Structure 1
């Protein structure tokens, strides 16, 4: 079986429909993205319909938003194993938009039975090739292909991102699928994560900013849920020691700059001429590119020691690379990179933007490229 996992509105269903059109056999498609989440019996009903098709030859079953079904992985395992034992020519594709629940189900029941295909937010290269965007447009409007046709009417674009992406993701992919005792707090945390994207913020300061009596453990849990929905996450601090890394304040990061821009009062032109805001969007675009496209096993963190900071640190195996993002005219000091290099016996590091690798080149290059000799 193949499992496609990724955020809403990035083309998972389109890819599945293309596979359905090319499949040499009968096809059955069903989506669990319903007002009321179906139970495991829904999966069995869809499966039985596909089995009737498979009795006449090869058949393909596509189940969309499968993570919405409680205990979905157990039902899929049972039915898949039955078909494998019986030798039925039934192929299966599952689609899901909750990273947390998909991984939970895969780890619990389906080990060794699936191929996981990650479908992340669209990269700069993909938006450039599909829509002719330059890098500035990508930094502001992000990587949602369905919204790309609306960017010339920024009010409609922002409304689309808010109403068709952000709200369904929070209400359907987070609040309905995980225990959230304070949904209003989670929503405010999402807004805060976008407003402070690219900045290091302790959980205690988050509590103060959110003006809530919730504790830091609750906020950490809610941030993990938002990260599992590919919205906002918190980067760990690189410390060379996992325990110390986990204990440090997180660096907030939006996983698609569209989530930030859709909430701004400034339009594209005004944001481009606001040096501080644009710098934040550029750093968020770089961080999102790293997280969305990092291969399995690659860690993306940040580093800070007193007043010295490194925006991002990549580590894979025994290779470590520190990165600094520069978006202004001034190349600026690189004291953070130098101190990091000396502290961890790393190389000279990489500058992205002014005085280093061009932003467009960096965003069009897989992250693992920069770790190669």
Structure 2
């Protein structure tokens, strides 16, 4: 079963306007399948095959000369040698749009190569796992299953696929294969333990020393392993929002997972009942909300998505900054919450003077697809309602 992807229109626009397009994202998010479905007549080359990797590394100019029509290069991170040669080829044919279409599963290492070689010549896009909106549009959305199943496309396209088998295979492939291309991990058992312990820190300020103590390894190693997960697109580090408001704010980022289904697997959750009873339910919901914001609003942590927390503990889960507009989002796992427990009234006045409009949103796990407007904020469930619609429903603060 094919599930249509929201990013499709952005890919088409990029292919019509840039000579090169790079679609990044974690393994199994559907990058290769999407591009082959969108461009079925285009030559497809995957660097998962060693023969193709060796040919591209040994003679990149000769390798590229084999293709006189648009081509898809899958898993381009395995052959960074191609980027410099691609720059030369593209500069000779700058208006040959959609000529080189690529995918990659290592976000930040790829960005470094691209920024050095193809700046201004390439469109960069990122594909996440399926959003609730995409599943709703495909008419297969089940909110109870989505809570713990997450959004990897294969889990929704193949009803007979075991959840445990999928994620066990996913983690094993990452640890035993992909990880080795990023860093040298001498003890894979330690890394697996670290991966699961990191899941318990979701939504918390990242404390390398504390995490290292729990895993039983050094701070230096923990930093390398966190970076590896970030490079692979498996986690996000959400930075704090800084503003000149006369208060000292925390400086550490918060840790989140790119897919809440993988997060649930690492925490041993495989049913809606377990999700609702879990002691980390609040963090699980917070992670789900953040990823729905990223997927539906095309946000980038550190660019237009942050969190707020001062040293007095006053906190806003997510802050979205769009030009002259600010959106404050609180995520609460219940169906309702008392207004006095929200920090909107304390934070919005501190930040609002710099923006033309400030809107406050409360993301609740409530039933139905209604947007409930209150005096100072709007309530919605991001599994049923898009955040953009909720923001428009609330009058500027």
TM-score for the superposition, normalised by structure 1: 0.80
Match of 2:350? 343
Aligned partners of 1:90 and 1:151: how far apart in 2?
35
- Richer in helix (by share): 1
Q: Does 1:9 align with 2:17?
A: no
Per-residue deviation, residues 225-282 of structure 1 (Å, max 9, x unmatched) = 32232111221122326xx999722211011111112223332133243164433322
Aligned to 1:31: 46
* 1:77–1:367 Cα change, 3 Å: farther
Q: Partner of 1:258 in structure 2?
A: 261
Deviates more, 1:361-370 or 1:332-341: 361-370
1:119 aligns with 2:127: yes
Q: What is the distance in 2 between the residues matched to 1:316 and 1:370?
A: 17
Of 58, 62, 84, 1:41 maps to: 58
Secondary structure at 2:288 match in 1: helix
The equivalent of 2:7 in structure 1 is: none
Instruction: Summarize the Cα distance change of 1:119–1:19 in structure 2 as closer, same or farther, 3 Å threshold.
Output: same
1:265 to 1:183, Cα distance in 2 relative to 1, 3 A = closer
Q: Per-residue CA shift, 1:140-194, capped at 9, x if unaligned? A: 11111112245666xx21221231x333345544431356687666554433332
Aligned to 1:136: 144
In 2, Cα distance between the equivalents of 1:4 and 1:369?
30
Alpha-carbon contact 1:43-1:75 (below 8 Å) kept = yes
**TM-aligned CA deviation for residue 46 of structure 1:** 4.1
Given the alignment of the two structures, is residue 225 of structure 1 paired with residue 228 of structure 2, yes or no?
Answer: yes
Answer yes or no: is the 8 Å Cα contact 1:300–1:313 preserved in 2. Answer: yes
Match in the other structure for 1:359: 382
In structure 2, how many angstroms separate the alpha carbons of the residues matched to 1:340 and 1:209? 34
Query: Aligned partners of 1:134, 1:262: CA distance in 2, in Å?
Result: 18
How far 1:102 moved relative to its partner? 1.9
1:198 deviates by: 1.8
Q: Which runs of 5 or more structure 1 residues have no equivalent in the other structure?
A: none
* CA–CA distance in structure 2, aligned partners of residues 9 and 78 of structure 1: 31
Q: How does 1:21-100 map to 2 (within 5 A)?
A: 21=40, 23=41, 27-34=42-49, 38=54, 40-41=57-58, 43-44=60-61, 46-50=63-67, 54=68, 59-81=69-91, 84=93, 91-100=99-108
- State the distance in 2 between where 1:109 and 1:43 align: 14
Residues 1:294 and 2:313 aligned together: no
**Equivalent residues of 1:123, 1:364 under 8 A apart:** no
Q: Is the 8 A contact 1:223 1:233 kept in 2?
A: no
Q: Tell whether the 8 Å contact from 1:47 to 1:61 is kept in structure 2 after alignment.
A: no
CA-based RMSD of the aligned residues comes to 3.5
Instruction: Tell me which of 199, 213, 216 is aligned to 1:208.
Output: 213
The answer to whether the 8 A contact 1:100-1:225 is kept is: no
2:148·2:269 contact (CA, 8 Å) conserved in 1? no
3-state secondary structure, aligned to 1:74: helix
Q: Paired residue for 2:322, among 307, 312, 316?
A: 316
Change in 2 beyond 3 A, CA 1:300/1:370: farther
Q: How far apart are 1:95 and its partner, in Å?
A: 1.3
